[in-house]
Amino acid sequence: MGPKRELKFALESFWDKKSSAEDLKKVAADLRSSIWKQMSAVGIKYIPSNTFSYYDQVLDATSMLGAVPPRYGWSGGEIGFDTYFSMARGNASVPAMEMTKWFDTNYHFIVPELGPDVKFSYASHKAVDEFKEAKALGVNTVPVLIGPVSYLLLSKPAKGIDKTFSLLSLLPKILPVYNEVISELKAAGASWIQFDEPTLVMDLDSQQLGAFTTAYADLESTLSGLNVLIETYFADLTPEAYKTLTGLKGVTAYGLDLVRGTQTVELVKKDFPKGKHLFAGVVDGRNIWANDLASSLSTLQALEAVVGKGIQFSFAFYGLCMKNNLVVSTSCSLLHTAVDLVNETKLDDEIKSWLAFAAQKVVEVNALAKALAGQKDEAFFSSNAAAQASRKSSPRVTNEAVQKAAAALKGSDHRRATNVSARLDAQQKKLSLPILPTTTIGSFPQTVELRKVRREFKANKVSEDDYVKAMKEEIKKVVDLQEELDIDVLVHGEPERNDMVEYFGEQLSGFAFTVNGWVQSYGSRCVKPPIIYGDVSRPKPMTVFWSSAAQSMTKRPMKGMLTGPVTILNWSFVRNDQPRFETCYQIALAIKDEVEDLEKANINVIQIDEAALREGLPLRKSEHAFYLKWAVHSFRITNCGVKDTTQIHTHMCYSNFNDIIHSIIDMDADVITIENSRSDEKLLSVFREGVKYGAGIGPGVYDIHSPRIPSTEEIADRINKMLAVLETKILWVNPDCGLKTRKYDEVKPALNNMVAAVKQLRAKLGSAK
């Protein structure tokens, strides 16, 4: 099952009050102990600590700094689970903090809320406690902390604080806490410490870069006597950022992503400080393809000539080994990949030979380090070369018809022939929806019983007829509930789907699937990304049967529910042998076939989710335009051929959308539902600033990732804020996201309050006329 799933079940048991805090702590301690012992057993000398989190590492840093927003009622002292999980998930009285994506990954973090009056204090000793815990087991670890500057740059001004407030002005206030933590770690016997400063790869101005210099100059005396590693990842460093990084005081080593940051290699070759260590991230920590060992070894040999000689040792937070001053490393934390290929019993041997999960990546790192030291494992390198050649020549990778169809897309922007205003008029005549139409995003709660039926069907313990019967019964229950609540546009609840991307990938050619390839998304939420190994096509309809069955149960419009091409791409492990946009266009053509079949089946509202479109935005602004051009184009391809009367919805969630609002408009969807409530209605600010939006739009009115049930008054207040900046005729009302992670005793009252708020406002708007 792997540690990610074990923690998931322990967390959910604790949240459901089926187990105690001590039970949860014991599960966590057992998992940490197991991981540390496994690393130690295979000869890893420097093993990380403080990388284990109950929710996410940024929230851990917020706890360490005592930066708890006042609404949670924390009065000081060591932060416990009640406060910690209230910040992450909310509680009956107050909402959770904002959650957003960790750079351009599908991992999420809780955004710190800061202001000039925050009183920082050392309020969580987790980093020190875990170091001591490992030491008691005979394992000397390397504590890992989110760096102080990245912590501030990833934060936001708290509600009521002016947007222009400089978060970096808080640096002098948080550094004393970092000094305390470092001092305690030194006293406990730490010899190495790692600071993650991933914001160094962003577009930073001179003031922001200067903050790194200021921070580490302040920490220098406390860090004296420690080996200090600054890790960066996910992109190239600019020359200015590279100069800042390599000039930091008190720093021993620099970690660079040389997979996604290929241009950084030239900066290293041009100028690398003498006597320092380079952690060369040549093994991809974000994908599952076997490393091209021969190519990586060539890169390392070129770098070795620059970096110079020094002491030898090994280190393994990211899976790495040091040979002299050059460290062979993964490109980033292995958090973003699956755990161990050994657990995959259903992948065929050919595809399996092309892959490397976290455990295999550590082996690759060790093999490269040994080869660099003159101890090359010829058999291992030969086997790797054979697998690389097999993948390049395998007929299952290439589909000539798919490649021709994708190539034929050039020369058209694939827009629908009629403008959105005219389409909305035609759709209204057909659908006859009231003002402020209500809907949900797609999924409904996935009960234990439902998951059991799906699991048993996959294991051939339930017949197809019995499975279809069970799914139809679940759909009928969801349809009846929505009609009882008086929701206007319905969904079938997606009972047949465990995961929105996995479901479609299982039915598309060019995809492979794991049994235990779990990757954490946030908290207890884990996903199994599909593997795109070849050209993508749709052999047969994927959702028409279920959507048609659901529509037959009601006279109200039933949405056909699809996942868009960009989201399927960004939430998969994607082939790295062709540009990502080419793969995306192939997926778009497959989804286009499905959209047109749904329309033929008289499904008049079709939602094509692009929850991850913003997530895939490159970290550097210079690369934004190209990505947005092909991503938005891919979405338009999916629905360019439908009638004006077919209403196309899309959905986006948990990212910052304001900076890409014009690209969202360019998607040309008829209706977009979009996360809004958890981010303090940040989305609405773009409309206050004058952006005109003519299509239908449903900013979420409540946060589905929290068990908290919003009141009718609270939802009505949110809708009124929307009506202040959006026209009544285009506004839809819906939750932030799908409901599958919630329970029915949370969903029913929340949706009931949502509909009640809408009816109150409809009455007021009607009387105002």
The DSSP call for residue 111 is P
Chain centroid, CA 414 distance in Å: 29
The answer to whether residue 336 is catalytic is: no
Calpha distance 478→546 (Å, rounded):
13
Containing 704, the helix (H) or strand (E) segment is: none
Q: Phi-psi region for residue 220, left (φ > 0), alpha (ψ -120 to 50) or beta?
A: alpha
Phi and psi dihedrals of 525, rounded to 5? -85, 115
> Could you give the 3-state DSSP secondary structure of residue 673?
strand
d(CA 465, CA 412): 44
Q: Tell me if 244 sits within 8 A of 221, measured CB to CB.
A: no
Please give the Cα distance from 393 to 678 (Å, whole number): 48
Which has the closest alpha carbon to 614: 560, 651, 649? Answer: 651
Which residues in 86-221 belong to E strands, given as ranges? 99-101, 108-110, 113-114, 141-146, 156-157, 192-196
Q: How far is CA 152 from the centre of its chain?
A: 20
**What DSSP character marks residue 289?**
B
Residue 517's closest CA among 669, 340, 680? 340
Give yes or no for a contact between 376 and 370, defined as CB atoms under 8 angstroms apart: yes
Residues shown for the chain: 769
Query: Of these residues, 336, 633, 651, 705, which one is catalytic?
Result: 705
Please count the other Cβ atoms lying within 10 Å of the Cβ belonging to residue 148.
26
Q: Which of 78, 168, 59, 57 is nearest to 121 (CA)?
A: 78
The answer to whether the CB of 532 falls within 8 A of the CB of 511 is yes
Give the SS3 label for residue 490. Answer: strand
- Give the pairing type, strands 47-49 and 605-609: unpaired
Which residues, at least 6 apart from 363, have a Cβ–Cβ distance to it below 8 Å? Answer: 356
Position 385, amino acid: A
- Cα within 13 Å of Cα(255), Cβ side: 31
Q: In this structure, what DSSP letter does residue 485 have?
A: H
CA angle 469, 472, 474 (to 5 degrees): 110
Amino acid present at 100: T
Give me the active site residues, please. Answer: 705
